[in-house]
Amino acid sequence: MKIRLTINGKLHETKISPSDMLIDIVRKLGYTGTKRGCDTTNCGLCTVLVDDKPILSCSYPAYRADEKAVTTIEGVQAEATILGGLLAMEGSDQCGFCTPGLLMNTIAMKRELGYPDDETIKHYLAGNLCRCTGYEGQMRAIKKYLEVTK
């Protein structure tokens, strides 16, 4: 079957198989910033925005993205530069494999909630696993991001 979607504002018409998940399609189309971590919606690495809402693309059938607007890390470079830069200033970008998913969900959080408190941040981002940092450095960066963008 065929679907039509925009990815970061660019229109794509692409053939898919019914069992393809959105992650398969975005990665195949070259948006490899989106990472595959678990395939069971537990790690948050594959987070992208569909019509501005964060979803886990490993378990989101590609067909559902038909006629929708998908945003990946490649499409939020301005925000990623600020937030990612702050992660780097803390040394908490580390292996970087969870970074795109974390950036996407944090950007979605800010758009949705504005400037949440620590507990809300931890809760909102609980599904974004990281095995390198122990989360503390990421939290320092995210809090600074909310501060500097106020």
Give the closest residue to 108 by CA, choosing from 94, 93, 125. Answer: 125
Q: Taking a C-beta distance cutoff of 8 angstroms, is the pair 101, 46 a contact?
A: yes
Assess 87 for contact with another protein (CB under 8 A).
yes
User: Which residues contact residue 116 at a Cβ distance below 8 angstroms, ignoring those fewer than 6 apart?
Assistant: 109, 124, 146
For the chain, first and last CA: distance in Å? 45
Site map (CB under 8 A) of another protein, residues 44-73, x = contact: -x--------------------------xx
CB nearer to another protein: give 19 or 150. 19
User: Which residues contact residue 68 at a Cβ distance below 8 angstroms, ignoring those fewer than 6 apart?
Assistant: 5, 6, 50, 51
CB nearer to another protein: give 116 or 127. 127
CB nearer to another protein: give 61 or 127. 127
Out of 115, 123, 147, 149, which residue is the one contacting another protein (CB under 8 A)? Answer: 123
Binding site for another protein (CB under 8 A): 17, 19, 27-28, 30, 32-40, 42-43, 45, 72-74, 77, 80-81, 83-85, 87-100, 103, 122-123, 125-137, 139
